Amino acid sequence: MDKIEHIGIAVKDLEASNALFEKLLGVPHYKIEEVASEGVRTSFFKSGPNKIELLEATKPDSPIAKYLEKKGEGIHHIAFAVADIVSEIQRLKGEGFLVLNETPKKGADNKLVAFLHPKGTNGVLVELCQEIKES
């Protein structure tokens, strides 16, 4: 795995949280993107080398809706950049991690993504991200 690609934060109201994070980080969000397959609307901030993803639920069975119901707003996942997501999934499976989707899926901000179950990672939901290269 490479650097932390982003930190995902579950929020109840994306517009209100955009205004809050703009004040906090001193930069505006650079993108809002809906990912219907995940039931989320996201916004992204860059702060120095760091990237923050805010996530609002768009449907009641979204992972974000369930998380907000159980734990409230806060850090939902940590995403790591990987060069080759398919081989990284195989490596992590071999190490005994519970990969939630063995076939990478399309995430936000031009990434292929896969998740590891938090029960196998000390309670932290881990996302793997590989940049989709133009062919």
Q: Report the interface residues with ligand LP2KCY5N, using CB under 6 A.
A: 8, 35, 38, 40, 42, 53, 55, 63-64, 66-67, 70, 76-77, 79, 100, 107-108, 111, 113, 115, 117-118, 123, 125, 127
Nearer residue to ligand LP2KCY5N within complex by CB, 24 or 98 = 98
For Co ion, which stretch binds (CB under 5 A), given 11-19, 31-39, 96-104, 120-128?
120-128
* DSSP string of 13-54, one letter each residue: -HHHHHHHHHHHHSS---EEEEEGGGTEEEEEEEETTEEEEE
Question: 103, exposed or middle or buried, with CB in 10 Å at 0-12, 13-18, 19+?
Answer: exposed
Q: What is the smallest separation between the CB atom of 58 and ligand LP2KCY5N, expressed in angstroms?
A: 11
